[in-house]
Structure 1
Amino acid sequence: MSTQKTVRDEYGEVHESEALRIPEDKAEQLVDALNSDLAATYVLYHQVKKHHWIVEGAEFHDIHEYLGEVAADLEEGADIIAERAQALGGVPLSGGANYEEVAPVSPEGKDAYDIRTSLEHDLEIFGDVTEQLREHIRLANELGDYNTEEELRGVLADVEEHGHHIEHYLEDDTLVEAAE
């Protein structure tokens, strides 16, 4: 355990960056939005990772591999979001319980579901995260923070692409027959 007793920066407080020159009131709005995006991304990441671990059936290998790629992309997006929150003078949110408390999305239950149900749960959160990222891209634009806008556009592109691919996995057209 650390013996350091001095808090350098408190979560929830934002200090203005001289280099970025974004006024503190605008930076606070942006950091709040980014921490909400970070929380949502990590809730989705952990759910996708769970499905990566537990997928079974005839399509196991392809879905297992794909969900591993999705999780890696989500983790990379979370890193981009967290680093931008820090650059704006904030403290990035961390910790599983904190993510679930702040996230505008809720993970599925603790149980293992069939892969179709699991992917339906993922698709629902992908849609929610997509909507929120779009809102925060607009916010960043309105506040004149074009770098945050561009960073979020990159994250959004990955989220939309994976949501679209999961939608394809859920289509009825398959070569695998359902068990009777």
Structure 2
Amino acid sequence: MSTQKSPRREFGSVEENELRLETEKATQVIDALNADLAATYVLYHQLKKHHWNVAGAEFLDIHEFLGEAAENAEEAADELAERAQALGGTPVAGPGAIEEHAPVDTEDQDVYDIRTSLGNDLDIYGDIIENLRDHVELAANLGDHATAQLLREILVEVEEDAHHIEHYLEDDTLVLEDATT
């Protein structure tokens, strides 16, 4: 247990940074990064839930995809958190704080068929895509071109994973329905 009586930096406060982005501008960017970070963690946990629970004829392919998509989300979360810290802020952390700051809602604890689950994932991806686009513009308008570039790179990966889910949800499939049902 820590013996420190007060935090080194309180969540929500922004210190001057060596990247020379004015504190007022950095605060806006950090708030956006923390919203993206929280949303990404919600997505990560939902993808892992679906990765663990997927079943059916296409199990292996979807299971592997969801594992890779969760890894992509985890990597993006790390990059978002490190950028917020570099700008003098504190990355959002912990389940309660993530829930509070996330601009997306997660699926409940129940297990659904994979088509419903993937549809729920696609909804979160869509919200994250919209937020990332807005935050790219915000960062660029504030003169933080490095954050804008980082967000663009994350956006490309997020859009690619969302597009894969769109393919899984297509009506065309090689799997035949059981004629006895």
TM-score, length-normalised on structure 1?
A: 0.97
CA distance in 2, matches of 1:136, 1:100: 19
Residue pairs, 1:30-49, within 5 angstroms: 30-49=29-48
**Runs of 4+ displaced beyond 6 Å:** none
Helix, strand or coil for the counterpart of 2:45? helix
Task: Report the RMSD for the aligned CA atoms in angstroms.
Answer: 0.8
Residue pairs, 1:17-166, within 5 angstroms: 17=17, 19-166=18-165
Please, which moves more after superposition, 1-10 or 60-69? 1-10
Helix, strand or coil for the counterpart of 2:30? helix
Stretches of structure 1 lacking an aligned partner (at least 5 in a row): none
CA distance in 1, matches of 2:15, 2:4: 22
CA distance in 2, matches of 1:178, 1:109: 28
Deviation, 1:2, is 2.1
Letter in 2 for 1:37: D
Deviation, 1:141, is 0.3
Deviation per residue, 1:150-170 (Å, 9 max, x gap): 111111011000000000000
Helix, strand or coil for the counterpart of 2:82? helix
Deviation per residue, 1:115-171 (Å, 9 max, x gap): 000000000000000000000000000000000001111110110000000000000
TM-score, length-normalised on structure 2?
A: 0.97
CA distance in 1, matches of 2:119, 2:90: 33
Q: Does 1:6 align with 2:3?
A: no
CA distance in 2, matches of 1:75, 1:24: 27
